[in-house]
Amino acid sequence: MESKTTKEHQSSSSNDITCGIITLSDSRSKKEDLSGDYLEEEINKRYTLKSRLIIKDEEEPLRKAIEEMIDENIDVILTNGGTGLSVRDITVETVEKLFDKKIDGFGEIFRHESYIEIGSGALLSRATAGVYKKCCIFSMPGSPNAVKTATKIIIDELPHIVHHAQK
């Protein structure tokens, strides 16, 4: 069922959105960053990619990268990697400390869609999203399939989400 209000908000939202990609990996180089490549391709179809980084799975480099992107007036930051359960997976703990507002629906829908695709292994996903300093941050697992699932959920809705986050 379509919402009249949602339709109105979507139509008044701008597609002039700038994005940044942060890949968290202790082993991947840009040449091996298939998830980052996919995100870049999808962003460039609709929006503007201003920055793309690959950093270690460490809190300080992630915080620094986020702050730098916000200083560049990036509207949406998409992180991939570091959302699992291992000791080195610090993305969720790092970004959620920053959030002014959490976007609970992203993680919920991501896990639902993942469950349909892969079954109960979706329980291991800690995908999360929120708003920090009026910038939308979406943190997803690093596998190419997970990135495709996450992108499918958010890519068309970004203008609407950014519109509300920046009010």
**42 domain residue, yes or no:** yes
Domain-located, residue 5:
no
- What's the CATH code of the domain at 90? 3.40.980.10
Residue 9 resides in a domain: no
**Residue 47, φ and ψ in degrees, nearest 5:** -130, -165
Q: Hey, is 125 helix, strand or coil?
A: coil
- 6 close to 151: Cβ distance less than 8 angstroms: no
Q: What is the pTM of this model?
A: 0.93
Asked whether residue 133 is domain-assigned, the answer is yes
Evaluate whether residue 113 is within a structural domain: yes
Instruction: Please identify which residue in the block is written with the tokens 């629906």.
Output: 105
Within a domain: 10: no
Query: Is residue 95 exposed (0-12), middle (13-18) or buried (19+ Cβ within 10 Å)?
Result: buried
**Over the stretch 32-65, which tens digit does the pLDDT of each residue have?**
899 999 999 999 999 999 999 999 999 999 999 9
Domain extent for 90: 16-165
In a domain, 21, yes or no: yes
84 vs 87: CA distance, rounded Å: 9
97-117 residue pLDDT tens: 999 999 999 999 999 999 999
pLDDT, position 30 = 80
Sign for the pseudo-dihedral over CA of 62, 68, 70, 76? negative
Task: State the pLDDT at residue 27.
Answer: 80
Number of domains comprising the chain = 1
Residue 1 burial (10 A CB sphere; 0-12, 13-18, 19+):
exposed
Task: Look at residue 8 and tell me if it is in a domain.
Answer: no
